[in-house]
Copies of this chain bind each other. A is one copy, B any other.
Amino acid sequence: MIMSESSGSPSSPPPPGLKVELGRDRPIRLDCGVDLGPVTVAYQTYGRLNADKSNAILICHALTGDHYVADPHPITGKPGWWSELVGPGRVFDTDRYFLICSNVLGGCMGTTGPMDVNPATGQPWNLSFPVITIGDMVQVQARLVDHLGIDRLFCVVGGSMGGMQVLEWAHSFPERVFAAIPIAAAARHSAQNIAFHEVGRQAIVADPDWCEGNYLLEGKRPHRGLAVARMAAHITYLSEPALHQKFGRNLQNRETVTYGFDADFQVESYLRHQGSTFVDRFDANSYLYITRAMDYFDLAAENGGVLANAFRGTRTRFCVVSFTSDWLFPTPESRAIVHALNAVAANVSFVEIKSDKGHDAFLLDEPEFHATLTGFLEGAAAHRGLPRAKGGGP
């Protein structure tokens, strides 16, 4: 179901699987200079928007995430990626907050991306889709928030690429963000991370079924290349201790090695599974575009080379979170954000969570992390004047 920009009814909770068309009359000016519109945005909401629209939390998803935060994924059937955190009395208390999550621009789960049809040609965009940035993703989210009639978000929260979006929100729309929680993120993508992304992209474009990006027209899918990209990336989401504890050198359903190239080791079998299941739910060109957006992210460079300039004058309350075993977005990246915020006397808390789960810790059962989120949100809610859930509406 697609609603036009004016047809929304933001004060009543929409059903899951909403879509809205934005920017038909006023296209979105992308960082690359292209005017894009209309743009379809797929999103989910949880909880109810209160009367003064002050309890909205925008959740930003990561590279291969989507807006199915707490609903079963429509393709895999698996629980939403933050299901455990969403619900009455949970971290994101649906009795108290109104949660919004949209599939990012360039995505493949309903929001306009390279696999969609370019209305100007009637053909899939494929590689003619403009190259997008984290800033572009946030511009589109801001239009969605406009559409929902919300001036100021109570909080913007997200991990990894979601955390980049949180930082971009706080930079681009400081007055619209009461509180911000960038998790396992960075203000710029490191050389090593660009390198890993480039390996993934090269794996995709090396697949003949990629067809120079036109696989949809050829009736093909570059599943092999995309699976390899996913496998390489997946290693970076874990930690060596986690891999060691989970798999070590354990063999897969066998007593001894087979002296062959089957998946003798459990870790091989696990990785192959990660690759082969990913291709069912993700689009290869979307992977190219979204990884590129992350590579381009560099908030300091956009602000005269000084990260603090990105946040000068901010009144947003920040909670920056990192994980000890995260080597993709290691703690020093979060510290750099905290130092920049301190330099402009921003209100910032910083928590490094002790975890052996690596970058993916933000998606996993980490009680200390969840307690941190709850505590920060409660404090911010008190400052925002949001009543406790059981205390009734405002």
Contact: B267 with A130, CB < 8 Å? Answer: no
Q: Does A225 sit within 8 A of B, measured CB to CB?
A: yes
State A260–B293 Cα separation when bound (angstroms).
10
Q: Which residues of B contact A191 (CB under 8 A)?
A: 240, 243-244, 246-249, 265, 267
Which of B199, B225, B240, B295 is within 8 Å of A190, CB to CB? B240
What is the minimal beta-carbon distance from A153 to any residue of chain B, in angstroms? 28
Contact: B240 with A192, CB < 8 Å? Answer: yes
What is the interface size of chain A, counting residues whose CB is below 8 A from a CB of the partner?
57
Contact: A260 with B228, CB < 8 Å? Answer: no
| 8 Å CB interface, A172-216 against B | 188-192, 194-196, 198-199, 201-203, 205-208
State A355–B249 Cα separation when bound (angstroms).
29
Q: Which residues of B contact A202 (CB under 8 A)?
A: 227-228, 231, 271-272, 275
Which of B127, B199, B298 is within 8 Å of A235, CB to CB? B199
Contact: A198 with B257, CB < 8 Å? Answer: no
Contact: A235 with B196, CB < 8 Å? Answer: yes
| 8 Å CB interface, A233-268 against B | 235, 238, 240, 243-244, 246-249, 257, 259-261, 263-265, 267-268
State A271–B198 Cα separation when bound (angstroms).
8
State A348–B23 Cα separation when bound (angstroms).
70
Identical chains in the assembly: 2
Interface string of A52-69 (1 = CB under 8 A from B): 000000000000000000
Which of B195, B227, B327 is within 8 Å of A206, CB to CB? B227
Residue of A191, A206, A268 contacting most chain B CB atoms (<10 Å) = A191
State A261–B32 Cα separation when bound (angstroms).
13
State A261–B288 Cα separation when bound (angstroms).
8
Interface string of A212-228 (1 = CB under 8 A from B): 00000000000011011
What is the minimal beta-carbon distance from A288 to any residue of chain B, in angstroms? 6
Q: Which residues of B contact A203 (CB under 8 A)?
A: 203, 206, 228
In the A-B complex, the 6 residue pairs with the closest CB atoms: A206-B224, A32-B259, A131-B259, A191-B243, A198-B268, A192-B240
Contact: A198 with B267, CB < 8 Å? Answer: yes
* 15 pairs of residues in contact across A and B, judged by CB atoms under 8 Å: A31-B259, A32-B259, A131-B260, A131-B261, A190-B243, A191-B240, A191-B248, A192-B244, A198-B267, A202-B231, A206-B224, A206-B225, A206-B227, A206-B228, A265-B295
Contact A265 B232, CB 8 Å, known A202-B272, A259-B31:
no
